[in-house]
Structure 1
Amino acid sequence: MFRILFTLCLCLLMTTVAAQKLRVSDNQRYLVTEDGEPFFWMADTAWELFHRCDMKEAKMYLNKRSEQGFNVIQAVALAELDGLHSPNPYGQTPLNNDDPASPNPKYFEHVDKVIKMADSLGMYIALLPTWGDKLFKNSWGVGPEVFNVENAREFGKWIGKRYKEQDNIIWIIGGDRNPREGTDDVAVWNAMAEGIAEVAGGYENTLMSYHPQPRKLGGSSTWFHEQPWLDFNMHQTGHCANQGTYKHIRHDYELSPAKPVLDGEPLYEEHPNCFNAKELGYSDPADIRRIMYWNVFAGGFGQSYGCHNVWQMYSLEREGINGPLRPWPVALDLPMANQVKHLKNLMLSRPFLSRIPLQGIVQEQQEENDDYVIATGDRSGSYMMIYFPTGKTTAVDLSSLRGNALESNWYDPRTGVHFPGPDLSKKILNISPPSSGKGQDWVLVIDDQGMNFSPPGSSE
């Protein structure tokens, strides 16, 4: 009897929660699970995960990020940092003789295990088949440049077939490159995406996007918005603190046909601002929070996070890229890595699939600087959220809210704590957050009292 009970308990402990396959929502704005539940993309950037981490390190990393509320990990098969010639911890390189038509299965056995480990935690892998320097180096990256239209399709078919049964794979084509005019770059990326879709069940059974470099407005949409393989648009808004990233999200949100959009590479935590640490220092949590809330409130279906020490899996034994400040295992606990869950929790605390940008409620001309106040809410008017990046007093018009009896709460993006907000007996009024200045950002959550919503997190 004891042996039976022990075996039963062991089986329960070993039970895993596999990730459900994701799809685009019916309104073409968000992602949902197979069951139709809203999915808020909260990604960490671990470009070198497969290349530089052994299984013990990968397990530690994935468990930590899962505990912190991340649900997507962005990683690369043919990695950025000399990924074709520098072997993984088990002495394997990904291609035989640098030939995309001849992948090395031994290298991908490790990739397989990490993907399955993520799946057991209910986490998704946003998998880049290759970093962009394997198509063209563009003054950084060591390549070698190995892809053309023909072998890109073959490699796409090979890797697509290998992972077609993994429901936790999201395909990200490109790898930090904008296609060059007068070249075959667009054709190469199309061929790779089409090769994946061909063997993985067609466009309806694959979820794909494209990872570009920073541009003035459009990201992936610039070249691929009309492609049937591109399910959602992705931006890289870059590594400078003082930029209106919401304009990039807004640009793609307004495109037709509608497709979900997000920022897949914002300013990383502890990254040199504009790659110039000597004069501009490193990023701080206030800058990163502002970018994330701006993007989501502008219409993003989620948000990616990155840490400069973690994406490259920096250690003291390795040469760092652009001045990392500490080894990656230590950097896993930097402030923003523990604050991103508050954004996800807040957005999922209200009807998510009917959420729209509500920038028209701000009743004053705003300069495009760090004070920029931004709003989102339910299409039917059951709730509204207003983000104040620096606590600036701002005039707002609440007449689009449905109810006459409104309840407000202040939500702290640093802690997830909420407490009662101002009286809203008037529909047009000046809102003053609890504090102001850099790092004093707040969200005002306003609800129709009849809907029985409550902000996430503990209350005071």
Structure 2
Amino acid sequence: MKHRTLAAVLAAALAAPLTAAAAPDPGPPPLRVAPDGRSFTAGGAPFLWLGDTAWGLLATADPAEVRRYLDVRAAQGFTVVQTAVPDGGDWSRVDAAVAEAARRGLHVAVTPALPAAADAASLGRFLGARYGDRVVWVLGDGTDDDAATWSALGEGIAAGAVDDPLMTFEPGPGRSSADVVGDAAWLSFALVRGDACEDAVDRVGGMLARPFLDARPAQEDAPACAGSGSATTALDVRRSAYADVFAGAAGHTYGHHDAWAPDAAVRAAALVDEGAMQMAHLRALTDSRGARTPAPELLADGTAGVLRAPDHLMAHVPAGEGIALDTTALPGEALHGWWFDPRTGVPTDAGTVPRSPSASFFPPVTGPDDAGLDWVLVVDDAAAGLAPPGNQ
């Protein structure tokens, strides 16, 4: 494992005694689809889906480990944990996990086990009545099989819930949720999947008239797709996360290959691996800048994902190479630039930016060791008085 950042933030969570949580907390406000139809809100405020795939969370019989996991992920800035209920699972464990997550300001996205077709509607009504909008439902198993049964379950959840819970469907490779369940009334947002080892967000996402997320992005320390025998790195998962957000996705779901490995020491190390720690910087960046509209037309040269807002734009440069942007899209007499380091969350002042249909920018690469690393360029209307990126 490589050197970790955010150590001071996590020290209390990792060292805290594993005791039962205190009095119930109302938790975070429920998630809603934003008025723009492309993102989420919580309590009316913009919300970045920064998830983690916690598949073993409801299978472990150790409540202390559940609390430890949630403590660390909350300290790392995650906003959602995604998990699955084992076949024949105990719903009281779901209750406990949802309550513990809420105390830490985390939302829980749950995939239930597939019920028998005859039981789907009644199970859905039970789940809707039990959880309301406190849970996000991720239906499907990624095969496109039993779509009618999953749809009946979704319809039942919608019918049983007094409030309007968010729901989605995980499709098979190369498809989106809407390809399988159509424009179902219960489908709140879409998941998209590429073929094996392909990121489909850039290809598919722009065609969807609803919020969307990548169903299965690369996991840290998982076998690499290139066939080289190496595993995916922090750079790989970081590029995937920023590529999702800069293509207009409502967020990103991180995962680690060993997060729920049989060995407890392996699980503990995976929980604080480099890529997981760096997800906090993506949240800090998006908390400090509201650009969410993809603007590939502003990329005049090079490779980058570009987002724009009325008073600023951002470009994620995946491999440390120069780019050119059309900065005339921004208002104001003066423009100011920053380079944001997604490894550390530290912004570097890039000074005055020219107003040009093809303004050139070069990341602050210092030598061969960081020549292929990614950076984020932020260009602000200086009159807007925005704080440095990553700062509120």
TM-score bracket, normalised by the shorter chain, equals 0.7 to 0.9
Alignment-derived partner of residue 62 in structure 1? 70
Of the three residues 221, 225, 237, the one matched with 1:270 is: 221
Name the residue aligned to 1:6: none
For 1:227, which of 184, 195, 198 is the aligned residue? 184
Specify the SS of the correspondent of 1:49: coil
CA contact under 8 A between 1:68 and 1:338: conserved in structure 2?
A: yes
Look up the match of 1:374.
Answer: 305
SS at match of 2:237: helix
1:15-414 aligned within 5 A: 16=25, 18-34=27-43, 36-78=44-86, 84=87, 93-94=88-89, 107-130=90-113, 134=114, 147-164=115-132, 167-179=133-145, 185-201=146-162, 205-215=164-174, 218-237=175-194, 240=197, 243-248=198-203, 251-255=204-208, 258-274=209-225, 279-310=228-259, 313-316=260-263, 327-351=266-290, 355-364=292-301, 372-378=303-309, 380=310, 382-414=311-343
State the alpha-carbon separation in 1 of the partners of residues 35 and 216 from structure 2: 26
| TM-superposed deviation, 1:261 | 1.0
2:329 is paired with a residue of what secondary structure?
Answer: coil
Indicate the SS of the match to 1:58: helix
How much has 1:213 moved relative to structure 2? 3.4
Identity %, equivalent residues: 32
Q: Distance in 2 between matches of 1:341 and 1:53?
A: 29
Displacement of 1:425: 2.2
Q: Call closer, same or farther: CA 1:206–1:14 in 2, change over 3 Å.
A: closer
Distance 1:389 1:327, change over 3 A: same
Q: How many correspondences in the alignment?
A: 367
Distance, in Å, in 1 between the alignment partners of 2:231 and 2:80 is 25
Structure 1 Cα separation of the partners of residues 149 and 371 of structure 2: 44
Deviation at 1:46?
Answer: 0.5
- 2:31 maps to a residue whose letter is L
Give the conservation status (yes or no) of the 8 Å contact 2:338–2:389: no
- CA deviation after TM superposition for structure 1 residue 315, in Å: 2.0
Cα displacement (A) at 1:234: 1.2
Q: Secondary structure at the match of 1:280?
A: coil
Unaligned runs of 5+ in 1: 1-12, 79-83, 85-92, 95-106, 135-146, 180-184, 318-325, 367-371
Question: CA distance change for structure 1 residues 438 and 58 in 2, over 3 Å: closer, same or farther?
Answer: farther
Paired residue secondary structure (1:410): strand
Amino acid at match of 2:189: F
Structure 2 CA distance, aligned partners of 1:388 and 1:344? 17
**Structure whose alpha-carbon radius of gyration is higher:** 1
Q: Using the alignment, how far apart are the partners of 1:345 and 1:18 within structure 2?
A: 21
Aligned to 1:182: none
Q: Quick one: structure 1 residues 252 and 22, their matched pair in 2 at CA, closer, same or farther if it must change by over 3 Å? A: same
Residue 328 of structure 2 aligns to a residue whose secondary structure is coil
Displacement of 1:245: 4.2
Q: Deviations over 1:48-67 (max 9, x none)?
A: 21012421110111011101
Partner residue in 2 for 1:140:
none
TM-score (normalizing by structure 2): 0.87
Q: TM-score, normalised by structure 1?
A: 0.75
Per-residue deviation at 1:458? 7.1
Distance of aligned partners of 1:275 and 1:150 in 2 relative to their CA distance in 1, 3 Å threshold: farther
Closer/same/farther in 2, CA of residues 341 and 17 from structure 1, 3 Å limit: farther
- Structure 1 residue 351, shift from structure 2 partner: 2.8
CA apart distance, 1:208: 0.7
Does 1:415 pair with 2:344? yes
CA distance in structure 1 between the partners assigned to 2:148 and 2:123 by the alignment: 14
3-state DSSP of counterpart to 2:27: coil
| Structure 2 CA distance for aligned equivalents of residues 239 and 420 of structure 1 | 40
**CA positional deviation for 1:254:** 2.9
- The answer (yes or no) to whether the contact 1:211–1:235 under 8 Å persists in 2 is yes
- Partners of 1:271 and 1:68 in 2: how far apart? 21
**1:160-214 deviation line (CA, Å, top 9, x unaligned):** 22222xx4311111122224xxxxx22111101001111112xx61111112233
AA in 2 matched with 1:47: W
Q: CA deviation at 1:264?
A: 3.4
- 1:407–1:15 distance in 2 versus 1, CA, 3 Å: farther
Secondary structure of residue in 2 paired with 1:387: strand
- For residues 456 and 175 of structure 1, the distance between their equivalents in structure 2, rounded to whole angstroms, comes to 38
Counterpart residue type for residue 163 of structure 1: Y
Alpha-carbon shift at residue 223 of structure 1 (Å)? 1.9
Any conservation in 1 of the 2:140–2:147 contact (CA below 8 Å)? no
CA-to-aligned-CA distance 1:200-257 (integer Å, 9 cap, x gap): 12xx611111122331xx42121234111111111244773xx454424xx23333xx
Question: Which runs of no fewer than 5 residues in structure 2 stay unpaired?
Answer: 1-21
> How many angstroms does 1:398 deviate by?
1.1
State the secondary structure of the residue aligned to 1:170: strand
Change (3 A) 1:383 1:281: same
* Equivalent residue letter for 1:50: L
Corresponding residue of 2:373: 440
Deviations 1:271-293 (A, max 9, x none): 011395xx331001111111111
Superposition deviation, residue 374 in structure 1: 1.2
The 3-state SS of whatever aligns with 1:363 is strand
Deviation at 1:17, TM superposition (A): 5.5
Whether contact under 8 Å (1:253, 1:260) holds in the other structure is: no
State the partner residue of 1:144: none
Q: Tell me if structure 2 keeps the 8 A contact 1:393–1:430.
A: yes
> Which residue is 1:454 aligned to?
387
